[in-house]
Amino acid sequence: MAEVKSRCDIEEKYKWKLEDIFKNDAEFEAAVSEVRALSKEFVKFRGRVGEGEKSILASLRLSDEIGEKLLSVVAYASMRRDEDNDVQKYRAMAERVGDLESDIMSECSFFEPGLVAAGIERIRGFFEKEPALFEYAHFFDNLFREQEHILDEKSERLLAMSSPVGGSAHDIFSSMNNADIKFGNVINEEGREEELTHSRYGIFLESNDRRVRKEAYNAMYAQYKAFKNTFASMYSGSIKSDLFYAKARGFESVRDMRLFDGNIPSDVYDGLLENVNHGLSALSEYLEMRKKVLGVDELSMYDLYVPIVPEDREEIPYEEAVEMVLAAVAPLGEDYVSDMRRAFSERWVDVYENRGKTSGAYSWGDNTTHPFVLLNYQGKIEDVFTLAHEMGHAMHSYYTNKKQPTVYRDYKIFVAEVASTVNENLLMEYLLREATGNRRAYLLGRKLEAIRTTFYRQTMFAEFESRVHGMYMEGTPLTAETLCKVYGEINKKYYGSVCVCDENITYEWARIPHFYTSFYVYQYATGFAAATCIKNLVLENLENARRYIEFLSGGNSAYPLNLLQGAGVDLTCADAVRSVVCDMEKTTKELGDILDK
């Protein structure tokens, strides 16, 4: 393997241009001082936010300005650090702005309670006198909606003080899961002993050598089984803590509290589970095909991740990847394509790995320049999909920032993964249009795995969470035994018609970090369903594409479901989920036909 380059050896055109935010570190420092000064100004509104239309508008505007400037310094410092984590100067800078952020948050915490104290009727009464306030109508709507669940100052302070205790279950889980637990060694494909770690587990499970897959699987679960009571205590501790906060804020359940954040009706959650359950036969058909192609007597849980068609290993130069993604998003219209082209010509993207660079990929940035994208591009087809994905996020931010006033220049997680998945879907469609033979089979196999892991598997997780929380609220103690029983039942429902669901898999709940952020994972499935619908719609005509761009431009100016409705997706009915199930059926059939030949 080639040695990883130093950052200074990477050509400039492959590095993002953070100078667009601040020309140099001196400009950054000046902005930090400015944020501090503005927050001093802002504190003068304490106790008089709701005095009249002038003070309300002035405080809102100043709050927007502070938020925007703060984001610029935070984004700049963090992204500088991500360029090379060995540079102490930027590490210190990032840490410093982290502190600045929490200082400012606490200094300005009087603001929203101040608005609330003024009362929604009184504030709405000011709109006529000060029409500029109309811009904030949705902001107020949401603020007063949340109000019902905000406690008096003393209770809020108590809740804030308790939060480090409340998060301890997750902290303990992380320490145990990432550091203390050891999984021993596995004999790899070459016959050498290799330590089993979380990241190598994924690689072992994709091995063509079944013995390797089985060994890794057994070694992994042996440890979760050995510590089953500890993991059960941690997880139930996390549920108890979440329920405490939910009840304290007047919610019936943790699920209600989580859904409330995006104003998502519980029907959407229940509908997802119900409709996916109706579509389980499509998953079974895929599993049947997998079993047949792998040529195994019994399909085991450790046979699920190995690609059924060998990976296409052709290296794709970055420039080619860029053109592929641009061609793939053409159905979104000329403007979208030319706006995205700017990202490449104006250096929004940090392309290659270098020593010390943060791993993985993300899209981020401030709201006043343009989004930035961090990649660690290696030239695999995987990386081209990552590029499409992150560019989806970047264009979402770009359109939102272009269209929305400061107060709405953000978006909820519920809609975020729609923008990225639409681009991945379009890339898949584009590649399939030209692909034949083995390459086509490989892509179809990849598509099926994306549906299985993002849509079915995350829904299965969502079902488990719902069941377990329900049990706890009904008084069933959450022990290793009860958790394994429920997990085993649900896993069997999803996989049992084809797979052998052994005892090991009943411990899977113990190793899923996302369960410590309760009722989060269902959004992967709803996002995937919405993205599948949108992909189908935009491939139909340009008018649908225009509505989708409108959705991307919506930011936080409306609630997620309303934004999606604007793009033609209604997550309150079964169609979106059905469109994924349909896709699964069609793709399985096509791949089956190719492989039969």
Q: Is 425 in the site for Zn ion (CB under 5 A)?
A: no
Q: Of the ranges 98-106, 255-263, 396-404, 416-424, which one interacts with Zn ion (CB under 5 A)?
A: 416-424
Tokens of 53: 């239309």
Q: What is the DSSP letter of 85?
A: T
Backbone phi, psi, residue 17, to 5° = -105, 80
Considering the complex, what minimum distance in angstroms separates the CB of residue 491 from Zn ion? Answer: 26
Residues 6+ away with beta carbon under 8 Å from 96: 32, 77
Buried b (16+ CB within 10 A) or exposed e, 191-224: eeebebeeeebeebbebeeeebbbbbbebbbebb
Considering the complex, what minimum distance in angstroms separates the CB of residue 527 from Zn ion? Answer: 9
Distance from the first to the final alpha carbon of the chain: 37
Looking at the Cβ atoms of 397 and 420, the one nearer to Zn ion is 420
Considering the complex, what minimum distance in angstroms separates the CB of residue 207 from Zn ion? Answer: 27
Tokens of 302: 């450790």
Tokens of 456: 């079915």
Q: Which residues are catalytic?
A: 390
Quick one: three-class SS letters along 510-525? HHCHHHHCCCCCHHHH
The residue from 39, 420, 423, 518 that contacts Zn ion (CB under 5 A) is 420
Separation CA 441–CA 438 (nearest Å): 5
Which among 272, 292, 270, 279 is positioned nearest to 493, based on CA atoms? 279
Considering the complex, what minimum distance in angstroms separates the CB of residue 417 from Zn ion? Answer: 5
Q: Of the ranges 78-86, 218-226, 248-256, 418-426, which one interacts with Zn ion (CB under 5 A)?
A: 418-426
Considering the complex, what minimum distance in angstroms separates the CB of residue 548 from Zn ion? Answer: 17
Q: 496-500: which pairs have CB atoms within 8 A and are 24 or more residues apart?
A: 497/280, 497/284, 497/287, 498/284, 498/287, 498/288, 498/291, 498/299, 499/287, 499/299, 499/300, 499/301, 499/303, 499/304, 500/298, 500/299, 500/300, 500/301
Pairing of β 362-364 and β 372-374: antiparallel
DSSP 303-315: GSSS-SS------
Q: In DSSP terms, which residues pair with 187 in a beta bridge? A: 193
Looking at the Cβ atoms of 236 and 420, the one nearer to Zn ion is 420
Separation CA 237–CA 229 (nearest Å): 12
Looking at the Cβ atoms of 238 and 420, the one nearer to Zn ion is 420
Looking at the Cβ atoms of 324 and 422, the one nearer to Zn ion is 422
Binding to Zn ion (CB under 5 A) within 291-330 occurs at: none
Looking at the Cβ atoms of 386 and 588, the one nearer to Zn ion is 386
Q: Which residue is nearest to Zn ion (CB)?
A: 420
Considering the complex, what minimum distance in angstroms separates the CB of residue 509 from Zn ion? Answer: 24
Q: Of the ranges 1-9, 10-18, 419-427, 456-464, which one interacts with Zn ion (CB under 5 A)?
A: 419-427
Site string for Zn ion, 327-366 (x = CB under 5 A): ----------------------------------------
Q: Of the ranges 34-42, 301-309, 415-423, 451-459, which one interacts with Zn ion (CB under 5 A)?
A: 415-423
Residues 6+ away with beta carbon under 8 Å from 257: 149, 242, 245, 246, 249, 251
Looking at the Cβ atoms of 277 and 358, the one nearer to Zn ion is 358
Task: Report the length, in residues, of the chain.
Answer: 597
Residues 6+ away with beta carbon under 8 Å from 238: 169, 170, 173, 515, 516, 518
Considering the complex, what minimum distance in angstroms separates the CB of residue 416 from Zn ion? Answer: 7
Binding to Zn ion (CB under 5 A) within 3-32 occurs at: none
Considering the complex, what minimum distance in angstroms separates the CB of residue 395 from Zn ion? Answer: 12
Considering the complex, what minimum distance in angstroms separates the CB of residue 523 from Zn ion? Answer: 11
Q: Of the ranges 180-188, 271-279, 412-420, 456-464, which one interacts with Zn ion (CB under 5 A)?
A: 412-420
Q: Of the ranges 79-87, 106-114, 186-194, 417-425, which one interacts with Zn ion (CB under 5 A)?
A: 417-425
Cα 469 off chain centre by: 22
Looking at the Cβ atoms of 449 and 585, the one nearer to Zn ion is 449
Looking at the Cβ atoms of 188 and 363, the one nearer to Zn ion is 363
Looking at the Cβ atoms of 420 and 526, the one nearer to Zn ion is 420
3 state SS of 299: strand
Geometric angle at alpha carbon 23, from 20 and 26, rounded to 5° = 140
Q: Taking a C-beta distance cutoff of 8 angstroms, is the pair 478, 236 a contact?
A: yes
Q: Of the ranges 92-100, 188-196, 268-276, 414-422, which one interacts with Zn ion (CB under 5 A)?
A: 414-422
Residues 6+ away with beta carbon under 8 Å from 558: 138, 566
Q: Of the ranges 106-114, 171-179, 413-421, 552-560, which one interacts with Zn ion (CB under 5 A)?
A: 413-421
CA dihedral 167, 170, 176, 179 (to 10 degrees): -90
Tokens of 127: 């709109």
Considering the complex, what minimum distance in angstroms separates the CB of residue 387 from Zn ion? Answer: 12
User: What distances in angstroms separate CA 453 from CA 280, 441, 446, 525, 528, one per listed residue?
Assistant: 13, 18, 11, 9, 11
Number of residues this chain uses to bind Zn ion (CB under 5 A): 1
Q: Measured on CA atoms in the order 7, 10, 16, 20, is the torsion positive or negative?
A: positive
Looking at the Cβ atoms of 221 and 372, the one nearer to Zn ion is 372
3 state SS of 441: helix
Considering the complex, what minimum distance in angstroms separates the CB of residue 375 from Zn ion? Answer: 13
Cα 515 off chain centre by: 14
Pairing of β 349-350 and β 372-374: parallel
Looking at the Cβ atoms of 177 and 420, the one nearer to Zn ion is 420
* Residue numbers at the binding site for Zn ion (CB under 5 A): 420
